[in-house]
A and B are shown apart, each in its own frame.
Chain A
Amino acid sequence: MRRFLFLGSAFLTIFLLATLSYAQPKPVSGGSLTIAQGVEPPGLDPTTATSAAIPRVVYGNVLEGLVRIDRDGKIIPALAREYKISKDGKEYTFILKKGVKFHDGKPFDAEDVKFTFERLMDPKTNIPNIKYYRDIESVEVADSHTVKFKLKNINSMFLFNLARPDSIIINKQTADRLKTAPVGTGPFKLVEWVRGDRVILAKFEEYHQKGFPYLDKVTFKFIGDPSAQIASLKAGDVDVIGYDVSPENALLLEKDPKFKVLNGYTTTEVILSTNQTRKPFDDVRVRRAMVHAIDRSALIKGAMSGYGTPIGSHMDPGNPYYIDLTSAYPYNPTKAKQLLAEAGYPNGFEAVIKLPERFAYAKRSGEIITDMLSQVGIRLKIELTEWGQWIDRVFKNADFDLTVIGHSEPFDIDIYANPKYYFRYDNPKFQETLKKAEMEPDPKLRRDLYVALQKMITEDAVNGFLFVMPSLPTMKKEVMNWWKDYPMTAQDVMEVWIQK
């Protein structure tokens, strides 16, 4: 008996060891990968247009910055080997990697960095996010592989901004091709963009990180219709759907042994945006009442098949400064009614919720919220709005009461400091604190300030903070090492490989 036990445990150990080594198989080089993407990029230049479809093709694959965001949301060096920050926090010195080449063969050096940022800072370039570079006073070339950035004032977001797709390094010779045929330093070079159909990338043999990438060829296929994406995946025409798999499809594919679904975070906070200047939403009691009336977990179940993480403020859980504020206003319809009565609306009120018709998550969430709010007497009328109209009416002219929308920009709590932003939140204390936070060199104190900022907007119940969109990349089970969380807008396939 004892011998059997011994043998049994020996087998068990061998089995466990075997599965353990099986669980971490060695990456294999070669093969090609086809990724389905819903929206085709309007041009391939991530600096002059903000469509998320652009970085999802080129960022990290074709084009790289000085630093980048890793899988855990931390800033790590990319084209810079290392960086130093001066004591006063106003000077950043980047030591660049040597032996890096652009896809056109040109060696990468400090002049390219200088050119890149001077182009971004030039108002004639018309870049939408010029605010990221507003604090740069000068970019100096110290030697061929050292660059010094002098800032006008301390900006704690500076490094993070350099890790955004807007800050990719290009060279002067090919800058005018950025929109149609970008030349970068990334692990893949652009082969062809068949407009309306696909972008083809091929392995860049002279890539500066030895051993990478694993794949020989990557194709981004633009398939707008979600059910056509799923059909293509099932038919074997595509290998991965990186973004925007609908929750109910994820649920089905998760059960299919041929596929796997990764359930991680994105940086998209879905919120019930509330126009602070319209009655009765200018009253904080009304806004708090609305949050009390929304059952987030039921909402996530109903609208997202249970995928997605509830949030209590405008920050995603992948952010290093995130704190969980979901318990600030627990689901409590009685409390909500009481608050409404206090605000002078014992019988509730009527309002319009404009839902962007293009986004299923927004439509469904809006419908469920309409139902939940009706339980406490708030009667919403749903208006489905075409996207171009939504941008014009809701976003530009703040012509709305309520809307549901996902804010995908990473680390965008600063939108609450802009009183002209469409939900029109104007709180001088918030604006001051944000300024302080952005200028605070000490990481601990900075964290405290960002925590205070999150609490402030929760306290004011500016918007209904609902959930963070799940990432849900869905793929054939042979596709390995895909990013589970999306802390930055990208589909970085450098480390992805295919199991034979």
Chain B
Amino acid sequence: MITYLLKRTLILFLTLLLVSIAIFAVLMVIPGDPAQIILGIHATPETLRNLRHQMGLDRPVTIQYLHYMKNLALGDLGRSITYDVSITSLIISRLQVTIPLAILSLIFAVSISIPMGIYSSLHRNRLGDYGVMVFSQVGLAVPAFWAGILLILLFAVTLQWLPAGGFHAWQTDPIKALRSLLLPAFSLGFVRAAVLTRMTRSSMLEVLGEDYIRTARSKGLPKRRVVYKHAFRNAIIPVVTIVGLQAGDLLAGAIIIENVFHLPGVGRLVFEAIGQRDLPVIQGVILLIAVMIVVINFLIDVLYRYLDPRIRYK
């Protein structure tokens, strides 16, 4: 296990190094000059030159990169060009929205999909199964942002139960903060639930057809016990893989949904930073995403082991 951990940590650092080089290269290649975006289209070449110099954009790319990596090694992600605050504090404040949003949407997704998946596998080709399949088909077809807009129309505009968007800080009012995350988390979770429902159903069907299930049933175990103890635990492993992949996908989903619900999260931060060519922020967020994906994958691996003690890591 320890060598495994060391290996994973090494992979993490290598991934980050590659990501940082790739993102630096991409940002250098795409057109759009941050100084020009700040100064607008009427700035004189002289002012532009001065500002580029102040921002260090006139130095060779390799020097810029090494300088950035040096600061990164010291734990300094730099300062945002647009907001003029440290990127670490900016990202931390935005994670207070994005992480609860991600967790909440996963909770929604799992708590909808697992029971539905199990139910439809046990009622295969019956009316309930068709109902569940129709639900998941709709979930797969509807993009999260559109689901978001429909939810806003129903719950915020017509019924006025929940806010149409925006966020209240956890410190001032945790209930309001939670309320403002419900609709976006549901619209993200809904789409995920569709995938997970199908996955759970097919995985369950596969396991239910195994010999040991028949054996368990024929030796007189109650159905309930067979389903939950014998079938479900074996069926869940591919589902957990998908959950892990989806968790890595969280930020991509957050970019869109945070814009629809105008939540000040990491997704919106990177979206706006790209428009403003706020390079240090883009780099910071992308590195964070890389870290998160690697860490989540690691956690999933550990979880496999818990779910199936036969799995061993060397």
List, in ascending order, chain A residues with CB within 8 A of B210's CB. Answer: none
- On whether the beta carbons of A51 and B269 are closer than 8 Å, the reply is no
**Count of residues in B whose CB is under 8 Å from the partner chain:** 52
- On whether the beta carbons of B165 and A128 are closer than 8 Å, the reply is no
Q: Count chain A CB atoms within 10 A of each CB in B40, B46, B83, B262 and give the residue with the most.
A: B262
List, in ascending order, chain B residues with CB within 8 A of A386's CB. Answer: 32
Task: Let me know if B54 is at the binding interface, CB within 8 A.
Answer: yes
**Count of residues in A whose CB is under 8 Å from the partner chain:** 46
Q: Count chain A CB atoms within 10 A of each CB in B39, B156, B166 and give the residue with the most.
A: B166
List, in ascending order, chain A residues with CB within 8 A of B153's CB. Answer: 231
Taking the closest CB of chain B, its distance from the CB of A236, in whole angstroms, is: 7
Task: Let me know if B314 is at the binding interface, CB within 8 A.
Answer: no
Q: Count chain B CB atoms within 10 A of each CB in A48, A194, A231, A389 and give the residue with the most.
A: A231
Residue of A nearest to B83 (CB): A195
Q: How far is the CA of A235 from the CA of B82 in the complex (A)?
A: 31
Q: How far is the CA of A179 from the CA of B40 in the complex (A)?
A: 16
Task: Let me know if B90 is at the binding interface, CB within 8 A.
Answer: yes
- Taking CB atoms and an 8 Å cut-off, the chain B residues in 150-197 that contact chain A are 152-153, 156-157, 160, 163-167, 169
Task: Let me know if A448 is at the binding interface, CB within 8 A.
Answer: no
Please tell me which one of the listed residues B169, B261, B272, B275 contacts residue A387 in the complex, with CB atoms under 8 A apart. Answer: B275
Q: How far is the CA of A228 from the CA of B269 in the complex (A)?
A: 17
With A223-B165, A225-B260, A232-B166 as known contacts, state yes or no: A123 contacts B41, CB within 8 Å: no
Residue of B nearest to A409 (CB): B42
Residue of A nearest to B261 (CB): A228
Contact with B along A210-246 (1 / 0, CB 8 A): 0000000000011111011001101111000000000
Task: Let me know if B85 is at the binding interface, CB within 8 A.
Answer: yes
Task: Let me know if A15 is at the binding interface, CB within 8 A.
Answer: no
Q: Count chain B CB atoms within 10 A of each CB in A128, A129, A393 and give the residue with the most.
A: A128
Task: Let me know if B84 is at the binding interface, CB within 8 A.
Answer: yes
List, in ascending order, chain A residues with CB within 8 A of B36's CB. Answer: 391-392, 396
Residue of B nearest to A415 (CB): B42
- On whether the beta carbons of B47 and A126 are closer than 8 Å, the reply is yes
- On whether the beta carbons of B264 and A196 are closer than 8 Å, the reply is yes
- On whether the beta carbons of A391 and B37 are closer than 8 Å, the reply is yes
Q: How far is the CA of A64 from the CA of B152 in the complex (A)?
A: 38
With A231-B149, A231-B157 as known contacts, state yes or no: A42 contacts B166, CB within 8 Å: no
Task: Let me know if A485 is at the binding interface, CB within 8 A.
Answer: no
Q: How far is the CA of A266 from the CA of B81 in the complex (A)?
A: 29
- On whether the beta carbons of B262 and A235 are closer than 8 Å, the reply is no
Taking the closest CB of chain A, its distance from the CB of B88, in whole angstroms, is: 14
Task: Let me know if A50 is at the binding interface, CB within 8 A.
Answer: yes
Taking the closest CB of chain A, its distance from the CB of B68, in whole angstroms, is: 20
Q: How far is the CA of A50 from the CA of B47 in the complex (A)?
A: 13
List, in ascending order, chain A residues with CB within 8 A of B278's CB. Answer: 42
- On whether the beta carbons of B94 and A196 are closer than 8 Å, the reply is yes
- On whether the beta carbons of A228 and B82 are closer than 8 Å, the reply is no
- On whether the beta carbons of A389 and B31 are closer than 8 Å, the reply is yes
Task: Let me know if B198 is at the binding interface, CB within 8 A.
Answer: no
List, in ascending order, chain A residues with CB within 8 A of B268's CB. Answer: 196, 224
Residue of A nearest to B54 (CB): A126
Task: Let me know if B9 is at the binding interface, CB within 8 A.
Answer: no
Residue of A nearest to B149 (CB): A227
Q: How far is the CA of A410 from the CA of B82 in the complex (A)?
A: 24
Q: How far is the CA of A391 from the CA of B82 in the complex (A)?
A: 18
Task: Let me know if A175 is at the binding interface, CB within 8 A.
Answer: no
Taking the closest CB of chain B, its distance from the CB of A129, in whole angstroms, is: 6
Residue of A nearest to B151 (CB): A231
With A126-B54, A225-B262 as known contacts, state yes or no: A388 contacts B30, CB within 8 Å: yes
Please tell me which one of the listed residues B50, B84, B164 contacts residue A228 in the complex, with CB atoms under 8 A apart. Answer: B164
Please tell me which one of the listed residues A126, A127, A237, A396 contacts residue B166 in the complex, with CB atoms under 8 A apart. Answer: A237
Task: Let me know if B38 is at the binding interface, CB within 8 A.
Answer: yes
Residue of B nearest to A223 (CB): B262
List, in ascending order, chain A residues with CB within 8 A of B47's CB. Answer: 123, 126-128, 130
- On whether the beta carbons of B42 and A235 are closer than 8 Å, the reply is no
- On whether the beta carbons of A388 and B42 are closer than 8 Å, the reply is no
With A129-B42, A224-B262, A391-B41 as known contacts, state yes or no: A231 contacts B156, CB within 8 Å: yes
Task: Let me know if B202 is at the binding interface, CB within 8 A.
Answer: no
Q: How far is the CA of A49 from the CA of B265 in the complex (A)?
A: 25
Please tell me which one of the listed residues A50, A195, A227 contacts residue B39 in the complex, with CB atoms under 8 A apart. Answer: A50
Please tell me which one of the listed residues A123, A228, A393, A395 contacts residue B262 in the complex, with CB atoms under 8 A apart. Answer: A228
Task: Let me know if B301 is at the binding interface, CB within 8 A.
Answer: no
Contact with A along B272-314 (1 / 0, CB 8 A): 1001111000000000000000000000000000000000000
Task: Let me know if A367 is at the binding interface, CB within 8 A.
Answer: no
Q: Count chain B CB atoms within 10 A of each CB in A392, A393, A395, A409 and give the residue with the most.
A: A392
Residue of B nearest to A236 (CB): B160
- Taking CB atoms and an 8 Å cut-off, the chain B residues in 92-119 that contact chain A are 93-94
With A221-B262, A388-B30 as known contacts, state yes or no: A40 contacts B165, CB within 8 Å: no
Task: Let me know if B44 is at the binding interface, CB within 8 A.
Answer: yes
Taking the closest CB of chain B, its distance from the CB of A414, in whole angstroms, is: 10
Q: How far is the CA of A196 from the CA of B91 in the complex (A)?
A: 11
- Taking CB atoms and an 8 Å cut-off, the chain B residues in 31-70 that contact chain A are 31-33, 36-44, 46-47, 50-51, 54
Please tell me which one of the listed residues B32, B38, B46, B165 contacts residue A49 in the complex, with CB atoms under 8 A apart. Answer: B38
Contact with A along B1-35 (1 / 0, CB 8 A): 00000000000000000000000000000111100
List, in ascending order, chain B residues with CB within 8 A of A221's CB. Answer: 166, 262
List, in ascending order, chain A residues with CB within 8 A of B164's CB. Answer: 228, 231-232, 234-235, 237
List, in ascending order, chain A residues with CB within 8 A of B32's CB. Answer: 386-389, 391-392
Contact with B along A372-387 (1 / 0, CB 8 A): 0000000000000011
List, in ascending order, chain B residues with CB within 8 A of A48's CB. Answer: 38-39
Q: How far is the CA of A388 from the CA of B37 in the complex (A)?
A: 8
With A50-B40, A235-B152, A391-B41 as known contacts, state yes or no: A43 contacts B166, CB within 8 Å: no
- On whether the beta carbons of B260 and A228 are closer than 8 Å, the reply is yes
- On whether the beta carbons of A49 and B39 are closer than 8 Å, the reply is yes
Task: Let me know if A481 is at the binding interface, CB within 8 A.
Answer: no
- On whether the beta carbons of B156 and A179 are closer than 8 Å, the reply is no
Task: Let me know if A88 is at the binding interface, CB within 8 A.
Answer: no
Please tell me which one of the listed residues A42, A222, A392 contacts residue B38 in the complex, with CB atoms under 8 A apart. Answer: A42
Give the interface of B toward A (CB within 8 A). 30-33, 36-44, 46-47, 50-51, 54, 81-85, 90, 93-94, 149, 152-153, 156-157, 160, 163-167, 169, 259-262, 264-265, 268-269, 271-272, 275-278
Name 10 A/B residue pairs within 8 A (Cβ), A-sorted.
A51-B40, A128-B43, A223-B165, A225-B260, A227-B149, A235-B152, A387-B275, A389-B32, A392-B33, A395-B41
Closest 9 CB pairs of A and B: A388-B32, A50-B40, A196-B264, A392-B31, A42-B82, A235-B164, A128-B39, A128-B43, A197-B264
